[in-house]
Amino acid sequence: MEIRGPEPIGCKNCRTTGSLGANGTWAACVSRRFRTVHLSSNDVELAPALHLHEVSKRYGARWALVRVSLTVRRGTALLLTGHNGSGKTTLLRVLATAVRPSSGKVEILGLDAALEPERVRAQVGLLSHAHYVYEDLSGLENLLVLARLLREPGSAATEALERLGLSPKDDRPVRTYSAGMRRRLALARLFLKRPAVALLDEPFVELDPTGVAELEARIRELRSAGTTLVLATHHIEQGLQLCTDRLHLEQGRSIAA
Amino acid sequence: MSTLTLVLAAVGEGRIRGGWEYVWTAYGIAWAGISLYALSLWARWPREERK
Amino acid sequence: MRRPGLLASTWVLFRKDLLLEWRSRARVNALLFFSLATLLLFSFALGPDTALLRRNAGGYLWLALLLASVLALGESFRVERENATLEGLRLVPVNARAIFLAKAVANAVLLAGLGGLLVPVLVALLDVRIVLPVGQLLGLILLGCLAIAAPGTLYGAIASHARARDVLLPLLLFPILIPALVAAAKGTALVFEGDPMGQFPSWVALLTSFDLIYWGLGVLLFPRVVEE
Amino acid sequence: MSKPVRIGFVLFAIALLVSGAWIGLAWAPPDREMGHVQRIMYMHVPAAWMALLSATMNFGACVSYLWKASWKKDAFAEATAEVGLLFGTIAILLGAIWGRPTWGVYWAWDPRLTTMAILLVAYAGYLALRRFVDDPDRRAVWSAVVGIIIAVDVPVVYFSVKWWKSLHQVQSTPRTVDPQMVIALRWNAFAFLAVLIVFLVTRYRIALAARMRETTVPDAPAGAREAVAS
């Protein structure tokens, strides 16, 4: 079936995205005044995975992101590079709706992150420095809490653990885990959720070479399942092997590379 | 007799005589509070607007 | 994608919070001994006049619970801060009201349990007699702990992400808890001393309205607190 | 407001305050019961009124901020809390000084004074919270939540303290006193209102300038462009 999108009006705020309308037509009509988002299913399906318009974020006296604009199509794997403190983590956290940008507009899969954070969050998975796991619970218990909140069966939690090479029978608390095991558990959370957009913040640190190889295989699995990927890392070679595009950040400003 | 006992005695009679020291202290505190706060506002006034 | 409803999520999170408390029961035990120590300290600070101590027993109970509550609330949010799990829950996504209800109920249960354990200690240590039915005392303790837990959870979430959080939580919490403290301590004193004037119901009414107001405000405002 | 108007209003407030002090100290007659000590009321009562007015405005600003966020509301909330704390402190100190010759003690656990004292500690906590949170958005939302909770607590605190212990009998509103005293009280109330307005406006502008400093986005660097990954 031929999909005919609506008129290519693009993002209300920026004309640049209008050019996207030429081949992949999408439109998001956002009425801030009534706090509603009018999107036809076609629009949502055709909207880019991620769209940022002039996004800035300030922490205390420091600007972590300065007017970053970015559009990422679906199925893309974007490599995010930059020095420490260049804003990679902040960018990922903004995309995950973990922090609200100080100014600017974020759209994930055609949904306005400021207006519909819940719907955005249901589609996005963030692998962050903080692993979102309870230290006093075992790996399985942690995943079971998540599975219940996602209405997944308990077997899904077991499966996710096994897929990452962790034993569901291991009832030690996470407090006793090594750094590599924690990272695997955090990834198991991501696999349990199966998000449409996966945001990975430095996934390779603290992993031994076998761990890195395994992780690469898992990331390829995500890619082949059509997941849109944003990968922030200092391991540029590994990143370039996995990703199709690259964005370089310097002092919170985007330098497309 | 000290002022204090005088005042306390007056309370017993239901009528307070004197008590100006309390009045002066009260007005002093009110005025000092207001003036000190005004001073602090002046000190905190943003410099680019003070010109 | 279908999500569990408010009550279902609350139930999942409540069980998680209780499990966490059970796993860290060494800390819960420490909390119990902390409140026992405060009871002892009150007795020592106010001298060996047993009649005076007995008369003040209700106040001691609630001061001990109030001091313990600050530690318990701080701890319940320290656990969440350790790996940013509160943010993790938010990103699942979980209804923020479920997070509030689960945490506040779990804290209230913990404090009420602590209160229940302190009563026999008061009886033994200060020679307190429970004049009114014990059920009334337990109900009062539950109401009082609910009163501490609702604003405590709201403020705990705020203070845990601020600087100087250990000072900030009691500074924010204690002033607004004064009505609850007054009602709970007076009511408890009536339980211990007898209630010839029939004042007990009015203190319970005050405590209940405090509970209703702050649980309502908590449910209403907590989403805004965690959203930032 | 233009600058001459502002300066004029400040001078007007000072004139009201000075004349109010003269009226309170010299012109108004001494009270039959309380003698000259009654003159403290001309400062105490308006200060308490201004504190309550500030608290009410703070509540309004907090609710309004959560309804629809704006830095102006946040700045106004900050101003009302601080100025309210100032007037509340003055009211409490004056109340205690008035209590010494009248009740024989500085602090008689009078419900209104006690409620005011609790309120002051609560607003001190509010201002401390504002100082301890660096992120402006978080600070604004969290302090708005705290402001609402404090305001809602006021009647509950008042009732609980009243039930707990009641001592305050004389209601010191203009209705129960001599006409000359009514004029003195009203004059000083307006003087304090003028001072309150001056303080609020000034403090609001200071707070708003700070917010603007905190939240202005730096310009995009030359050569920055939108990245499109496809």
Which of D128, D134, D153 is the closest to C171 by Cβ? D128
Contacts of D217 in chain A (CB under 8 A): 56, 58, 63, 66-67, 102-103
How many Å separate Cα B19 from the centre of its chain? Answer: 13
pLDDT digits (tens, 9 = 90+) for A160-210: 998 888 888 888 999 999 888 888 899 899 889 889 999 999 888 878 888
Mean pLDDT value across residues D77-94: 95
DSSP β-bridge partners for residue A51: A71, A107
A–C contact: 3+ Cβ pairs < 8 A:
yes
pLDDT at A24 over 70: no
Interface probe with A: pick from D68, D132, D226, most Cβ of A within 10 Å = D226
Mean pLDDT value across residues D107-125: 89
C19 interfacial to chain A (CB closer than 8 Å):
yes
Provide long-range contacts, Cβ within 8 A and 24+ apart, for A218-221.
A218/A163, A218/A164, A218/A187, A218/A191
State chain B's mean pLDDT as an integer: 72
pLDDT given for residue A149 in this prediction? 92
pLDDT at A243 over 50: yes
Q: Which of A58, C157, B47 is nearest to D136 (CA)?
A: A58
pLDDT band at A256 (very low <50, low <70, confident <90, very high): low
pLDDT given for residue A66 in this prediction? 86
Domain ranges of chain A: 1-47, 55-256
Residue with more model confidence, C159 or A239: C159
Residue B46: CB atoms within 10 Å: 14
Contacts with A145 (C-beta within 8 Å, 6 or more apart), sequence order: A134, A137, C12, C13, C16
Asked whether this complex has an ipTM greater than 0.90, the answer is no
Q: What is the least distance, in Å, from the CA of D224 to any CA of chain A?
A: 6
CB contact under 8 A, D101 and B22: yes
pLDDT given for residue D56 in this prediction? 94
A–D contact: 3+ Cβ pairs < 8 A:
yes
Mean pLDDT value across residues A17-30: 33
pLDDT band at D226 (very low <50, low <70, confident <90, very high): low
Q: What phi and psi values does residue C70 have, to the nearest 5 degrees? A: -60, -40
What is the end-to-end Cα distance of chain A in Å, rounded?
36
Which residues in chain C land under pLDDT 70? 1-2
Which of D215, D217, D229 is the closest to A78 by Cβ? D229
How many Å separate Cα A98 from the centre of its chain? Answer: 11
pLDDT given for residue A129 in this prediction? 86
pLDDT digits (tens, 9 = 90+) for A67-112: 888 888 888 888 888 888 888 899 999 999 998 888 888 999 888 8
pLDDT at A61 over 90: no
pLDDT given for residue D80 in this prediction? 96
Chain A residue whose CA is closest to D218: A66
Which of A130, A145, A146 is the closest to C84 by Cβ? A130
Q: What is the least distance, in Å, from the CA of A122 to any CA of chain C?
A: 6
Kindly list the structural domains of chain D, giving each domain's residue range(s) and its CATH number in brackets, ordered by start.
Answer: 3-212 (1.20.120)
Contacts of D138 in chain C (CB under 8 A): 161, 228
3-class SS of residue A113:
coil
CB contact under 8 A, C83 and A134: yes
pLDDT at D110 over 60: yes
| C227 dihedral zone (left: phi>0; alpha: psi -120 to 50; beta) | alpha
Q: What phi and psi values does residue A126 have, to the nearest 5 degrees? A: -115, 125
Which of D137, D215, D226 is the closest to A70 by Cβ? D226
pLDDT digits (tens, 9 = 90+) for B1-51: 455 555 444 444 445 666 788 888 899 999 999 999 999 999 998 876 544
pLDDT digits (tens, 9 = 90+) for A143-161: 999 999 998 888 999 999 9
Residues of B with CB under 8 A from a CB of D: 7-8, 10-11, 14-20, 22-23, 25-27, 29-31, 33-34, 37-38, 41, 44-46, 48-49
D147 vs C147: CA distance, rounded Å: 18
Across A76-80, D193-197, D215-219, least confident range: D215-219
How many Å separate Cα D173 from the centre of its chain? Answer: 19
Class in CATH terms, A55-256: alpha beta
CB contact under 8 A, C172 and D125: yes
pLDDT given for residue A54 in this prediction? 86
pLDDT band at A38 (very low <50, low <70, confident <90, very high): very low
Give the predicted TM-score (pTM) of the model.
0.85
pLDDT given for residue A22 in this prediction? 30
